[in-house]
Structures are given as structure tokens and as C-alpha cells.
Amino acid sequence: MATDVVVPTLGESITEATLGQWLKKPGEAVKVDEPIASLETDKVAVEVPSPVAGVIGELVVNEGDTVNVGAVIARIEAGAAAATSATPAVEDRTAVGKAEAAAPAEPASAPVEETGDALTLSPSVRRAVLEYGVDPSKIRGTGKDGRVTKDDVVAAAKSQPKPAATAPAASPAAAAPVASNAGGRNEERVKMTRLRQTVAKRLKEAQNTAAMLTTFNDVDMTAVIEARNKYKDLFEKKHGVRLGFMGFFVKAACMALKDIPSVNASIEGEEIVYRDYVDVSVAVSAPNGLVVPVIRNAETLTVAGIEKTIGDFGKRAKEGKLSMEDMKGGTFTISNGGVFGSLMSTPIINPPQSGVLGLHRIEDRPVVRDGQVVVRPMMYLALSYDHRLIDGREAVTFLVALKNAIEDPTRLLIDL
């Protein structure tokens, strides 16, 4: 008797997804709740678990197909798992027995490839395996239930520098294709993921709908850097999380948004919606690109609470475990391009939000203090905003308030 595998509920207002990759093939045994497919939605990648133990039967849809919530995507032959798991065991023993007489080395490695975790790798890990050219069956996974993560692949690649360096010299035949393609003009066409399609659509809608304008300022990071260096060890010991810069900026932004509520507001039809709470969307890096989970009621959190939330988002983003609820909503966005080396940018607002703060890299620059030219660690700030709702005076006032709080962190304690 076969059991249908259906597309699970993906979140509010999400009715369809794209089948990104099959993690199991027909005839392979699966356990209960073992991932068999990866779905790409408008916001995150979702793994589809097996509802029963058994053997993969028919795959109803192909990779790249669009599927609706509740649709059948595969069938699992229940009750066949025991038989199929026993049969290969006999076959493997027979094969090993025959092969030992001829080539003992090959039978030893074959079972590892047959039973390794490579068959259930997530899409991001599979791409990393291909990129770094490592054998996933020889990697010890540090993820949940011993699954291999992208970081495991990178670490394995770094620990094997010699084979990668000597391979071309040891195999002249392998060097020939590289030389022949050196002057080539190759192209590769890759279908856009559903996430990338949605990002492209929403960003273009933002440009077409909002009257976007960007205002800039710079901030002296001396005080924050000194505070961080002074207390980072005690902070980590007490709270179990590292003290970064985002905690200061989120806290300062919440104070500034309280003073300039229009930056935290949005336009809905012919009405302006003002809020007495701040849900901050923070951009974090994920295997499929940047995602923007939301810190709920950020105005009520301490710097430690903010850092813990961001750290949890970053960890789950790398593991592909962010949920739809994590991404939902948001009243204001902070994007930190500085971690990638960005000096300055004009970020695009995320509708229906009306403002986005762009942070950039910190670099030593000459500035004037008390009539003297001194070197200070400076950062450019950028606030992109919807000019339909936010006036220039309000935008500049917001940035100045945030600048003052960062340059004098004591203001964060006394709410000034």
C-alpha cells in the first residue's frame, strides 16, 4: 500500500512553491520524517519530510515544477523498507566476497558511497560539494542528526589542500581541457529560484510605487568600539552571545523611530498606519541569498536580547531552518552591507515599509575634532525612505538622532 506525500502548509497567503530538488530517488529507503525533497517558496526553502518509513515509489512531479499546497508530489511504498534494507545487505556481502579476490580496495569504499549522507544533502550543501570537489561520504556532519552542513564541506575542503594542488601536475590529461577552455566564451543558463523571482518583483514594485529618496550621514564609531572592546568578554560570559555592533544600532534605531514615528509607519490605501511597536527586519546571509527575518518588539529588548535573536537567526539561516513566521511582517529594515566591505549604498525599501537603514564598513578617516585633524573609525549611514510619507526634515532628523546615540552610547541608557 502506497502513502501519498503532499506539499505541506507553507504559511499564511502562500499557496504554491517550486520543487527545487529531490533528495531521494525511487527505490531508496526512507525513515519517518526524513527529508525527501526541497521546496522553494517566495521566502525560504522548505524540506518535505517522509510521513512514513518505507521505500520511495513514484515521483509525481519533476524538479523545477510548480506545486500547490496539498498536491501529491510522491508516493512511498509502506512496508517495503525491511525487505529492501535486507536484500541490499545480502547483495553487498556477496559483492564484497567476490571483489575481495580481485581488488580489496574498491569494495571497502563502495558501501560508504552507497550509505553516505550525500544522498540526503540539502541543496546548498550539494552545491558546496560540487564547488569544492570533496567526497561528502567522508565528512563528519555537525548538523542535526549528524547531517552534513555547508560549513562542514568548507572545513573538509580546507583540510585537504595538497590533493587539490597536486592533481593537475599528477594528471597531464586533466590539464588539457582547462587549457583548451582558457580562451572560451562559455555561458550557463540557470532558472531563477522562486525566492530570487519574488525578490526581483518586490524590489521593482518598490521602485515603481514609492517615491524613494536616500539621505546620508556618517558616524564616529569610537565610543561603540571602545565599549565593545571593554565589555565583550564579560558580555559573552554573562549572556552566552558575542557583543556586536548590530545590538547598538537596533537599539538606537528604536529610539529614533519613537521620536520620528513616520519612519516606522506605512501607507495602506489612503491611510497612514502609525505603530507604537518596532518590528525590525534584519538582513542575514543564507545559502540561497540574503533573507530578512524580523526581530519582534525590538523596542522592548535589551542589547543582549537583540544580539541573541540575531545570532539565532544567523544560525538557523545557515541551516535552512528559518520559518515563514520568522520572515513575516516587519516595520523597518536594517541592512548591514559593511560586513561585505561596502563603503556606501542606496538601499531599496521593502514594501509596505517606508524606511530602510543601510550600514557600511568602518574605516579610519581624517576628521576635525576641536579644531584638530584626527583619525577616527568612521561609518557612512544611508536612510532610504518613501518621500510620499516621510519629509526630508524627518529623514535627516532620524539619522542625526541615531548618529548621536551611537557616538554617545550613554544616551541608550537614559533614553535621550
Residue pair 139/153 in contact (Cβ under 8 Å)? The answer is yes
Identify whether 151 is a catalytic site residue.
no
As a whole number of angstroms, the distance between CA 163 and CA 174 comes to 14
Least confident of 110-124, 146-160, 321-335, 374-388: 110-124
**Ranges 24-28, 235-239, 256-260, 379-383: which has the least confidence:** 24-28
Query: What is the predicted pLDDT for the residue at 353?
Result: 92
Contacts 24+ apart (CB under 8 A), 306-313: 306/246, 306/247, 306/250, 306/251, 307/239, 307/241, 307/242, 307/243, 307/244, 307/246, 307/247, 308/239, 308/240, 308/241, 310/244, 310/246, 310/247, 310/250, 310/282, 310/284, 311/241, 311/242, 313/282, 313/284
Q: Would you place residue 408 in the very low, low, confident or very high pLDDT band (cuts 50, 70, 90)?
A: very high
- Alpha-carbon dihedral 247, 253, 254, 255, rounded to 10 degrees: 110
Say what the pLDDT of residue 236 is.
93
Pairing of strands 54-59, 66-68: unpaired
pLDDT of residue 287: 66
Q: Which CATH superfamily is domain 117-167 in?
A: E3-binding domain (4.10.320.10)
pLDDT above 80 (res 299): yes
Q: Does residue 4 carry a pLDDT above 50?
A: yes
Task: With cut-offs at 50, 70 and 90, classify the pLDDT of residue 55.
Answer: confident
pLDDT(90) > 70 = no
Q: Where are the domains of the chain?
A: 2-79, 117-167, 194-414
pLDDT confidence of residue 79: 61
Domain 194-414 sits in CATH at 3.30.559.10
d(CA 336, CA 400): 18
Task: Give which of 390, 384, 401, 406 is closest to 333, Cα–Cα.
Answer: 384
Which residue did the predictor score with more confidence, 63 or 237?
237
pLDDT (mean) for 115-120:
43
Tell me what percent of the residues of the chain surpass a pLDDT of 70: 78
Classified by CATH at the fold level, domain 2-79 comes out as: OB fold (Dihydrolipoamide Acetyltransferase, E2P) (2.40.50)
User: Rounded to whole angstroms, what are the CA distances from 146 to 81, 156, 245, 268, 319?
Assistant: 22, 15, 33, 47, 13
The active-site residue, picked from 65, 259, 387, 408, is 387
Query: What is the longest distance spanned by two Cα atoms in the chain?
Result: 87
In this predicted structure, the answer to whether residue 128 has a pLDDT above a threshold of 90 is no
Per-residue pLDDT of 324-367, as tens digits, reads 788 888 999 999 988 888 999 999 998 889 999 999 999 999 99
Active-site position among 218, 391, 408, 415: 391
Indicate if 360 belongs to the active site.
Answer: no
